[in-house]
Amino acid sequence: MKKKTWIIIAAIVAVLAIVAVVCTVALKPAQKTITIAVPNDPTNEGRALLLLQANGIITLDPAAGVTATKDAVTGNPLNIEFQEVEAAMVPNVRKDVDYAIINNNFALDAGLNPVENSLLIESADSPYANVLCVKKGNEESAEAKALAAALYSQKVADYITATYAGAAVSVVENPTDGFDATVDYAALDGKTISVAASPTPHAQILAVAAEILAEKNIKLEIIEFSDYVQPNMVVESGEVFANYFAHIPYQENFNAENGTSIVVVAPIHVEPMGLYGGKQADLTALTVK
């Protein structure tokens, strides 16, 4: 066979090899996008992203801090798509995404056990303590002190431990009998103290505090809200005396963004945030290779 013929055959073989590679690449299925629903308010979205970073799934711009959003993600090897959803609605979209990161109060409301059902969960020493708050100027009032003392009680601490089994953890280091020796309880006899709260676990915990206050003939009116805005606004307006639903970073950020004057009276418990499966039943899809 002539040399020219061999050259032509070799060229044809080379072209066919290139075509085969191109076809293989073209036929190879695209990498599936992993979707994770996260709360859309600044501090809770940042908290959710920090949970993923703590588990080596993404990396964040250190400058973003606790108010990080998806725009602060600097390392995303799995090409995760973040769906920002109102915190209360995250459990509702869980079935439509691969994973969802849910605040514990909304997880509990949705029938999820944060300890048993979550695939990832914050450690119990989370800095996001849920706090009793009032409008600035009321923090030293007898009502605020009496309510804080009831929430600082051993009875409340025991209730949190027994009821939530790690889904909520008391941060009160030295629980008391539920009463403050500096408060003139006789002056509060017959009074009503109103508190805005999330249904679970805050309103449930407040119900225990209400039993303690009732011993001094003080009525605790618990008003439930399912969102993270109204509990602050009704306290700011003076319609409600106190609230108990959110953590410290959220309250600080809320004041900065809304010009409100909500101040912390007492940190009561933490609720470790968790990642739950949606379309995915385990963490396999989140394994960084």
CA angle at residue 273 from 271 to 277, to 5 degrees? 135
> In terms of CATH architecture, what is 35-122+274-286?
3-Layer(aba) Sandwich (3.40)
Question: Residue 221 forms beta bridges with which residues?
Answer: 194
The residue ranking higher by pLDDT, 7 or 121, is 121
Other CB atoms within a 10 A radius of the CB of residue 281 amount to 9
Mean pLDDT of 161-183: 95
Average pLDDT of the residues of the chain: 90
| Residue 19 confidence (pLDDT) | 42
Stated pTM of the model:
0.80
Any idea what DSSP says for residue 189? Answer: T
Long-range contacts of 115-120 (CB under 8 A, 24+ apart): 115/165, 115/166, 115/167, 117/274, 117/276, 118/274, 118/275, 118/276, 119/274, 119/275, 119/276, 119/277, 119/282, 119/283, 120/51, 120/52, 120/55, 120/274, 120/275, 120/283
Residue 54 has pLDDT above 70, yes or no: yes
The DSSP secondary structure of 234-256, one letter per residue, reads HHHHTSSSEEEEEEHHHHHHHHH
Q: Please give the structure tokens belonging to residue 287.
A: 């394994």
Rounded to whole angstroms, the Cα distance separating 212 from 150 reads: 6
Q: In 3-state terms, what secondary structure has residue 102?
A: strand
pLDDT band at residue 55 using 50, 70 and 90 as cut-offs: very high
Rounded to whole angstroms, the Cα distance separating 161 from 124 reads: 12
Residue 137 has pLDDT above 70, yes or no: yes
| Residue 53 confidence (pLDDT) | 96
Residue 20 has pLDDT above 60, yes or no: no
Residue 279 has pLDDT above 80, yes or no: yes
Mean pLDDT of 261-277: 96
| Residue 5 confidence (pLDDT) | 52
* The two domains 35-122+274-286 and 129-270 share their CATH topology (first three levels equal): no
What are the domain boundaries of the chain?
Answer: 35-122+274-286, 129-270
Amino acid at 95: K
What confidence tens digit (pLDDT) does each residue in 206-227 have? 999 999 999 999 999 999 999 9
| Chosen CATH of 129-270 out of 3.80.30.20, 1.10.1740.10, 3.10.105.10, 3.60.110.10 | 3.10.105.10
What confidence tens digit (pLDDT) does each residue in 234-248 have? 999 999 999 999 999
| Residue 23 confidence (pLDDT) | 43
Mean pLDDT of 94-105: 96
Rounded to whole angstroms, the Cα distance separating 208 from 211 reads: 5
